[in-house]
Amino acid sequence: MIISGNMKMADVIHRQHQIAIVLNRFGILLGLGDKTVEQVCVACEIQLDFFLAIVNVFCDKSYFPRETLKNFSMNLIIDYLKKSHHYYNHTKVPAIEEMIQKLCWKNPENETNVVLVNKFWLTYKEELQTHTEYEEQVVFPYMLGVERVFEGRHSDLLPSKYSIDVFEVEHNDLEEKLFDLKNIIIKYLPPPENFDLCNSILFELFRLEKDLNNHARIEDKVMIPKVKEMEKTIARQKSSKKENQ
Amino acid sequence: MTRFTFIISESSLIAATGLATILTKEPGFQVVRLVSNARETALALARNKPNFLILNPDICKTEKSFNLVLSKLGSARAIAFTTNYEHKKSVLDSFDARIDFFDDDNQIIEIVNSVLRKKFEQKNYEPEKASELSEREVSVLKLIATGLTNKEVGEKLFISEHTAIVHRKHITQKLGIKSVSGLTVYAIINKLIRLEDGLPLK
């Protein structure tokens, strides 16, 4: 299903409940009544095309916003990505961490497991934080620089030797540890006493993984193509300038 | 309906026909060949590729001919059909089950069904079996879990770095754990290394 502006926002959530997470990042709150997607966007001062691109990429693996991509400003994209980072680091991760800390085993011999799982989670958490910090401190400023040059607001050519290709290669392994943690819980950890909690942790890990995948897809299909396009144009301008000199 | 095919290898035609009659009463069971010596049995196995071979070990006059039959089994399950009690244990151990000359029809069907059950149970457990680490892999895992690089692992075990990488790849495939810290956790849970020996997980 491709989500469009004239659908009722409430219906969209009924069909694809996971976009509720995305709505929060846009500052859209529930209590939507019968308002259409477009009406909700207007009321919240959100660019409709951008909202549709994000929710469709989020929900549909094969969707690509070919037509509308050029209309989105970098700030808009970055703002959305930063909000998702905030959600991971300040909502999702602490919630899972709290549950992990409550895991317990009857047998004191299993005390090691508590230590192990906690420590493993901490390494994952740090990795996620490092990753998001790197994006916010290196990648996003670079992208804004590219946009400035592209729009002619900055006379310099490119802000640094960095290119979005480097980022494209580097940004991948976030799911590796998450996958390992799921497998450790499913296959190798002695079952803890509070197994319901253990299941809830597992569900949360699966959900986080899926959400991170969707997030990565937005970077791959909205952010990276947009930056690449600008990089190409700038490189072309650069070479034609040289020819003229 | 699932069909299971049988070859009966027995020198007495009366015994073989009787066994075939009992088996074919069970829905889905089909006897495709009756044979009476080892050579014929090997040929029939290769040609008919049955699910079951019911074989009287007495028809194999030599150990060599018995091994020939076993080598042609393929995916067929072998059930011994015994008419005396003088078989070597090593011979009987080559079979998945044993039907005796004096077993009644219900017993015979039940023996075949128990082999079928075992077969399917084994199928379910195959992935688990396959994921057991070899001794070598365990020693590689122990070193990785304490934070050694592939090169260092190679040096310690007197293998090339490449071999160490291959072992590591297999370990990751078998365990479903990719990261070093994940492998450390696995090694500690399974008591391959002690918590204090593990790569500090910060």
Per residue in A56-92, pLDDT (tens digit) is 988 887 888 877 777 788 888 899 999 999 999 999 9
Nearest residue on chain B to A187, alpha-carbon basis: B175
* Mean pLDDT, residues B18-42: 90
Most confident of A113-117, B118-122, B123-127, B129-133: A113-117
Residue B145 exposure: Cα atoms within 13 Å on the Cβ side: 26
Question: What residues does each domain of chain B span?
Answer: 4-128, 135-197
Query: What is the reported pLDDT for A158?
Result: 59
Average pLDDT, stretch B164-188? 88
- For residue range A92-112, list pLDDT tens digits in order: 999 999 999 888 777 777 778
Please give the C-alpha separations between residue B33 and each of A12, A85, B82, in angstroms, as whole numbers. Answer: 64, 69, 19
Point out the least confidently predicted range of A142-151, A156-165, B22-31.
A156-165
Nearest to A216 by CA among A188, A186, A176: A176
Question: A8: alpha, beta or left, given left = phi > 0 and alpha = psi -120 to 50?
Answer: beta
CB interface of A with B, residues 106-125, below 8 Å: 112-113, 115-117, 119-120, 122-123
Residue B85 pLDDT? 73
Residue B177, chain A, CB below 8 Å: the answer is yes
Residue B200: predicted pLDDT = 58
pTM assigned to the model = 0.63
CATH T-level fold of B4-128: Rossmann fold (3.40.50)
Tokens standing for B165?
């990488």
In this prediction, residue B125 carries a pLDDT of 39
Token pair in block for residue A158? 């490119």
Q: Give the pLDDT band of residue B121 (cuts 50, 70, 90).
A: low
- The ranges assigned to domains in chain A are 9-59, 73-244
Task: Tell the residue number behind the tokens 């319901």, with chain if given.
Answer: A196
Whether the complex's predicted ipTM surpasses the cut of 0.85 = no
Residue A232 class from Cβ within 10 Å (0-12 exposed, 13-18 middle, 19+ buried)? exposed
Q: Decide which of B194 and A110 is more confident.
A: B194
Q: Which CATH number fits domain B135-197: 3.30.365.10, 1.10.10.10, 3.40.630.20, 2.60.120.620?
A: 1.10.10.10
Which residue, among B131, B141, B173, B185, would best test binding to A if mutated, counting the most A CBs under 10 Å from its CB? B185
Residue-level pLDDT at B123: 46
Query: Which chain B residues are Cβ-neighbours of A116 within 8 angstroms?
Result: 185, 188-189, 195, 201
**Chain B positions in Cβ-Cβ contact with residue A113 (cut-off 8 Å):** 189
CA A135, CA A78: separation in Å to the nearest integer?
10
The per-residue pLDDT for range A1-45, each reduced to its tens digit, is: 889 999 999 999 998 888 888 998 898 999 999 999 999 999 999
Residue type, B73: L
CA distances from A199 to A179, A186, A195, B176 (A): 15, 9, 6, 19
CB neighbour list of residue B63: distance below 8 Å, 6 or more residues apart: none
CB contact under 8 A, A112 and B188: yes
Residues of A in Cβ contact (< 8 Å) with B195: 112, 115-116
Residue A186: alpha-carbon gap to chain centroid? 26
Of A131-135, A168-172, B120-124, give the range with the top mean pLDDT: A131-135
